[in-house]
């Protein structure tokens, strides 16, 4: 069976873990954590980053940092992962879901403005499949109404909008290093704090509500409990593994891009004939080859295709169930219909995509489906 995903080992992961063990300090914020921080600061020009145990945690930190209170409203796409919403719901927020674009599962930027009112406390964009949202448009709306913007950049490692790295637009941005992402350490994440007024507090929340980081830099003479917080730091074992992947990220990205391009080229004619849509990349967005998805003609075609591929030993999977129709949020949703998001829920199918994949057998299996 060709799996949907296979976490990649680039080479030095175990060596760095051994080294971390030999250094005798395995809790968070050690040498490997700092190496990872430096990588992101230098490669993408982020002014302050903090490694977290997951993207979910980075999003939860964002909700705390923005002081989200019960009843506050947060705007985000309905077609996203649970954590985008959960992080804010944990603080008591009401979620106002936005529909997807017709040409792309990402959120319809223009529809955001209609949902803004005096209770709106944040706009969360999700760069679906690593493809940038229209940041000029979202920033225009956010600035006009003076609402902070957060980027869920979980899938957006190494991707850009008009040449500028994703993760550098939001007041706060969250990346994921879950094993299904381009660069991974099993479970891991990163919070980017672009808003300088939030940087000192971010460190405190990260360190269980203490000013421990400032203490170790010698900025205060004792450390203690100064705010709310939690255990958001990953251990050095995870950071060591992650650093080995970051060092090889150019190679990893290049290989994923090759596979993505092979899929696109081989499937163009086939998809046209069957009424299947291939991914659309707006000209402002780069392609980080996080995902190759196809959008089927209807739900039935997708079901048939999944079964067909399974018979040929290929594991293809659908993606999100729109959050406004989830068992947890359905009753709380404001009732607006979100037809594009529902469409992707029913028709989107993701193909296997990982470093070691030979896409040809998957392509052959797809091309042998013709209805
Ligand atoms: C993967 C993902 C997350 C969650 O990331 P974790 O690191 O697993 O917590 C959140 N949002 C989106 C859009 C994702 O794809």
State which of 222, 248, 274 marks the end of a domain. 248
What is the CA(126)–ligand 1 centre distance, in A? 10
Same domain for 264 and 243, yes or no, is no
Mutate to test the pocket of ligand 1, among 7, 56, 57, 232 (most ligand atoms within 8 A of CB): 56
Question: What span, in angstroms and rounded, lies between the C-alpha atoms of 46 and 199?
Answer: 12
Judge contact between 116 and 145, C-beta under 8 A: yes
What is the CA(189)–ligand 1 centre distance, in A? 9
Which ligand 1 atom is nearest residue 59's CA? Answer: 10
State which of 248, 271, 306 marks the end of a domain. 248
Read off φ and ψ for residue 166, nearest 5 degrees: -65, 145
- pLDDT tens across 176-221, in order? 999 999 999 999 999 999 999 999 999 999 999 999 989 888 999 9
Q: Which residues line ligand 1 (CB under 6 A)?
A: 54-56, 80-81, 83-84, 126, 152, 154-155, 176, 178, 189
Cβ neighbourhood burial of 218 (10 Å; 0-12, 13-18, 19+)? exposed
Which ligand 1 atom is nearest residue 188's CA? Answer: 7
Two structure tokens written together for 309: 């591929």
Residue span of the structural domain in which 275 resides: 250-367
Same domain for 312 and 183, yes or no, is no
Question: What span, in angstroms and rounded, lies between the C-alpha atoms of 309 and 182?
Answer: 24
* Residue 371: per-residue pLDDT: 85
Which ligand 1 atom is nearest residue 187's CA? Answer: 7
* Residue 186 located in a structural domain: yes
Mutate to test the pocket of ligand 1, among 176, 232, 353 (most ligand atoms within 8 A of CB): 176
Same domain for 118 and 260, yes or no, is no
Cα-based distances in Å from 321 to 212, 216, 342? 41, 45, 8
Same domain for 165 and 261, yes or no, is no
Strands 348-350 and 293-295: antiparallel
Q: Would you mind telling me the total number of residues written for the chain in this entry? A: 371
Q: Which residues of the chain have pLDDT under 50?
A: none
What is the CA(83)–ligand 1 centre distance, in A? 7
* Residue 2 located in a structural domain: no
How many structural domains is the chain composed of?
2
- In DSSP terms, which residues pair with 364 in a beta bridge? none
* Residue 213 located in a structural domain: yes
* Residue 4: per-residue pLDDT: 97
- pLDDT tens across 91-124, in order? 999 999 999 999 999 999 999 999 999 999 999 9
Name residues whose C-beta falls within 8 Å of residue 331's C-beta, 6 or more positions apart in sequence.
none
Same domain for 349 and 200, yes or no, is no
- CATH code where residue 114 lies: 3.40.640.10
Judge contact between 285 and 225, C-beta under 8 A: no
Cα-based distances in Å from 161 to 46, 158, 169, 287? 15, 10, 9, 10
* Plot region of 346 (φ>0 → left; ψ -120 to 50 → alpha; else → beta): alpha
* Residue 264 located in a structural domain: yes
Q: What angle do CA 107, 265, 321 make, to 5 degrees?
A: 30
Name the residue with the closest Cα to ligand 1, atom 5.
Answer: 55
**Residue 256: CA count within 13 A, CB half-sphere:** 29
Same domain for 170 and 79, yes or no, is yes
Q: Identify the helix (H) or strand (E) that includes residue 176.
A: strand 172-176
State which of 248, 282, 304 marks the end of a domain. 248
Which ligand 1 atom is nearest residue 80's CA? Answer: 13
Query: What sign has the CA pseudo-torsion 180, 183, 187, 191?
Result: negative
* Residue 220 located in a structural domain: yes
Measure the CA dihedral 228/33/40/177, to 10°.
-80
């Amino acid at each position: 069976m060709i799996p949907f995903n296979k976490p990649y080992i680039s080479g030095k992961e175990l060596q760095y873990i051994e080294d971390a063990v030999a250094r005798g300090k395995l809790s968070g914020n050690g040498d490997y954590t700092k190496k990872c921080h430096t990588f992101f600061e230098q490669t993408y020009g982020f002014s302050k980053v903090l490694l977290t145990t997951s993207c979910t945690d980075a999003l939860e930190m964002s909700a705390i940092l923005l002081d989200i209170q019960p009843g506050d409203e947060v705007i985000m796409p309905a077609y996203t992962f649970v954590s985008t919403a959960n992080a804010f719901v944990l603080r008591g927020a009401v979620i106002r879901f936005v529909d997807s674009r017709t040409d792309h599962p990402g959120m319809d930027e223009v529809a955001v403005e209609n949902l803004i009112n005096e209770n709106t406390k944040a706009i969360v964009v999700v760069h679906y499949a690593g493809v940038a949202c229209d940041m000029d448009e979202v920033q225009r709306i956010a600035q006009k109404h003076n609402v902070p913007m957060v980027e869920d950049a979980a899938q957006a490692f190494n991707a850009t909008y008009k040449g500028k790295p994703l993760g550098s637009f939001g007041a706060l941005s969250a990346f994921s290093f879950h094993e299904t992402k381009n660069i991974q350490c099993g479970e891991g994440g990163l919070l980017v704090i672009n808003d300088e007024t939030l940087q000192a507090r971010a460190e405190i929340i990260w360190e269980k509500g203490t000013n421990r980081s400032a203490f170790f830099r010698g900025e205060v003479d004792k450390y203690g409990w100064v705010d709310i917080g939690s255990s958001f730091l990953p251990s050095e074992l995870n950071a060591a593994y992650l650093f080995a992947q970051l060092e090889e990220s150019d190679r990893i990205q290049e290989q994923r891009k090759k596979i993505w391009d092979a899929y696109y080229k081989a499937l163009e004619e086939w998809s046209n004939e069957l009424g299947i849509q291939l991914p659309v990349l707006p000209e402002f967005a780069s392609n980080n080859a996080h995902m190759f998805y196809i959008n089927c003609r209807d739900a039935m075609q997708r079901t048939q295709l999944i079964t067909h591929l399974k018979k040929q030993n290929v594991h293809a999977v659908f993606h999100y169930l729109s959050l406004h129709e989830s068992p947890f949020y359905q009753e709380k949703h404001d009732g607006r219909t979100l037809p594009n998001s529902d469409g992707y829920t029913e028709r989107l199918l993701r193909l296997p995509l990982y470093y070691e994949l030979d896409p040809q057998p998957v392509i052959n299996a797809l091309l042998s489906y013709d209805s």
